[in-house]
Amino acid sequence: MLYKFDFSFLLEKWPAFLTGAWLTIQLTVLSIALGFVVGTLCAVARVYGGRTLRLLVGGYVELIRNTPLLVQIFIVYFGLSSVGLKLSAETSAVIALVVNMGAYTTEIMRAGIQSIHHTQLEAADCLGLTRLQTILHVVLLPAIERVYPALSSQFVLLMLASSITSQISAEELTAVANNVQSDTYRSFEVYIIVAAIYLALSLLYRLAFKAIGLIIFERRRRLGTAL
Amino acid sequence: MIQLNAHHIWYLIMAAQWTVLLSLLAFAGGALVGLPIALMRVSPSHTLRIVAGGYIQLIQGTPLLILLFLTYFGLGILGYKLAPLVAAGLALTLYAAAFLGEIWRGCIEAVPRTQWEASDCLGLNRFQQYAYVILPQAFRMAIPPTVGFMVQIVKNTSLASVVGFVELARAGQIVNNSTFEPFIIFCIVAAIYFAMCYPLSLASRFLERRANAGRASH
Architecture of domain B6-217: Orthogonal Bundle (1.10)
pTM of model > 0.95: no
The contact set of B with A (CB < 8 A) is: 58, 60-67, 69-70, 73-74, 76-79, 151, 155-156, 158-159, 161-162, 169, 172-173, 176, 180-183, 186-187, 189-190, 193-194, 197-198, 201
- Domain ranges, residue A132: 10-223
CA distance A198 to A124: 44
Task: Give contacts of A163 with chain B, Cβ < 8 Å.
Answer: 63, 65-66
Whether residue A64 contacts residue A99, with contact meaning beta carbons closer than 8 Å, is answered with yes
Q: Where residue B215 falls among pLDDT bands split at 50, 70, 90? A: low
Q: Searching chain B, which residue's CA lies closest to the CA of residue A194? A: B66
CB crowding B82-94: b at 16 or more within 10 Å, else e:
bebbbbbbbbbbb
In a domain, A200, yes or no: yes
In a domain, A144, yes or no: yes
Residues B73, A188: C-beta atoms closer than 8 Å = yes
In a domain, A26, yes or no: yes
Q: Where residue B52 falls among pLDDT bands split at 50, 70, 90? A: very high
Confirm or reject contact between A182 and chain B (CB < 8 A). no
Facing residue for A203 by CB, picked from B61, B73, B161? B61
Facing residue for A82 by CB, picked from B76, B181, B197? B181
Whether residue B49 contacts residue B38, with contact meaning beta carbons closer than 8 Å, is answered with no
Question: For B74-83, how does the pLDDT look when each residue is reduced to its tens digit (9 = 90+)?
Answer: 777 777 777 8
Question: For B176-188, how does the pLDDT look when each residue is reduced to its tens digit (9 = 90+)?
Answer: 998 888 999 999 9
On the CB side of A142, CA atoms within 13 Å amount to 13
Question: For B18-41, how does the pLDDT look when each residue is reduced to its tens digit (9 = 90+)?
Answer: 999 999 999 999 999 999 999 999
Whether residue B26 contacts residue B86, with contact meaning beta carbons closer than 8 Å, is answered with no
Number of domains chain A is built from: 1
Residues B78, A3: C-beta atoms closer than 8 Å = yes
Q: How far is CA B41 from CA A58, A128, B49, B62, B93, in A?
A: 36, 51, 5, 20, 18
The secondary structure of B119-148 as a DSSP string is HHHTT--HHHIIIIIIHHHHHHHHHHHHHH
By C-alpha distance, which of A73, A95, A78, A65 is closest to B194? A65
**Interhelix angle for A187-216 vs A9-48, to 10°?**
40
CB crowding B8-21: b at 16 or more within 10 Å, else e:
beeebeebbebbee
Q: Where residue B202 falls among pLDDT bands split at 50, 70, 90? A: very high
CA distance B140 to A64: 28
Q: DSSP letter for A167, please.
A: G
Question: For A177-206, how does the pLDDT look when each residue is reduced to its tens digit (9 = 90+)?
Answer: 999 988 888 888 899 999 999 999 999 999
Distance to chain A for B118, nearest Cα, Å: 33
CA distance B23 to B149: 11
Facing residue for B79 by CB, picked from A2, A65, A198? A2
Task: Give contacts of A166 with chain B, Cβ < 8 Å.
Answer: 65
Residues A81, B182: C-beta atoms closer than 8 Å = yes
CA distance B161 to B151: 18
Backbone CA torsion sign across A107, A112, A115, A120: negative
Confirm or reject contact between A63 and chain B (CB < 8 A). yes
Confirm or reject contact between A62 and chain B (CB < 8 A). yes
Q: Searching chain A, which residue's CA lies closest to the CA of residue B159? A: A70
Question: For B94-130, how does the pLDDT look when each residue is reduced to its tens digit (9 = 90+)?
Answer: 999 999 999 999 999 999 999 999 999 999 999 999 9
CATH number of the domain residue A52 falls in: 1.10.3720.10
Percent of chain A with pLDDT strictly greater than 90: 74
Alpha helices by DSSP H, listed for chain B, are 6-41, 46-60, 64-69, 75-77, 84-110, 113-121, 126-128, 135-156, 168-179, 182-217
CA distance A3 to A169: 30
pLDDT at position B93 over 90: yes
Burial of A179 (0-12, 13-18, 19+ CB in 10 A): middle
Question: For A16-50, how does the pLDDT look when each residue is reduced to its tens digit (9 = 90+)?
Answer: 999 999 999 999 999 999 999 999 999 999 999 89
The ipTM assigned to this model is 0.90
Neighbours of B155 (CB within 10 A): 22
Please tell me the predicted confidence (pLDDT) of residue A81.
87
- In chain B, where the domains are located: 6-217
* Interface size between A and B, measured as CB pairs under 8 A: 115
CA dihedral B23, B26, B32, B36 (to 10 degrees): -120
Whether residue A198 contacts residue B66, with contact meaning beta carbons closer than 8 Å, is answered with yes
In a domain, A5, yes or no: no
